[in-house]
């Protein structure tokens, strides 16, 4: 059983930056590809970014490409999401997720979820 705990959310103005962290415990962190999803009020949970097990590859949703950067430190069992040039439409609860596979842009394949952290971007 893998436990995931996100941190780093908060309130920021348009154009600002935030760095989310997700600390994992209870499993072999390096055996999971690590994902970020987000869910805005009244909307479905959507894929944001993924980083493969060895951090060799990253994939981003078109809506965040060029603004968000996903990284991981397997020695610290932690994955990060650096978010720059934030927009009001980025407002959502952001979830860290672990998948015992390569890459999944579908939330249905995810094995473990964090509790989420709120990101609010004011205009």
Which residues are 58's β-sheet partners?
A: 51
Question: What is the C-alpha to C-alpha distance for residues 4 and 22, in angstroms, rounded to an integer?
Answer: 6
pLDDT surpassing 80 at residue 91: yes
CB–CB of 116/6 below 8 Å?
yes
Q: How confident is the model at residue 92 (pLDDT cuts 50, 70, 90)?
A: very high
Question: What is the C-alpha to C-alpha distance for residues 94 and 55, in angstroms, rounded to an integer?
Answer: 20
pLDDT surpassing 90 at residue 24: yes
Q: What is the mean pLDDT of the chain?
A: 96
Instruction: Spell out the residues 6+ positions from residue 27 whose beta carbon is closer than 8 angstroms to its own.
Output: 1, 2, 98, 112
The whole-angstrom distance between residue 66's C-alpha and the CA centroid of its chain comes to: 15
- Taking each continuous run of H as one helix and of E as one strand, the counts in the chain are 0, 11
């Amino acid at each position: 059983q893998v436990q995931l705990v996100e941190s780093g959310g908060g309130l920021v103005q348009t154009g600002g930056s935030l760095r989310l962290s997700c600390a994992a415990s209870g499993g072999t962190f390096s055996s999971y590809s690590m994902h970020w999803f987000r869910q805005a009020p009244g909307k479905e949970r959507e894929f944001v970014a993924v980083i493969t097990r060895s951090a060799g590859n990253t994939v981003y949703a078109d809506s965040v490409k060029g603004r968000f950067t996903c990284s991981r430190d397997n020695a610290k069992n932690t994955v990060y999401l650096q978010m720059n040039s934030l927009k009001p439409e980025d407002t959502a609860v952001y979830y860290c997720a672990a998948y015992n596979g390569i890459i999944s842009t579908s939330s249905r394949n995810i094995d473990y979820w964090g509790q989420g952290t709120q990101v609010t971007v004011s205009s």
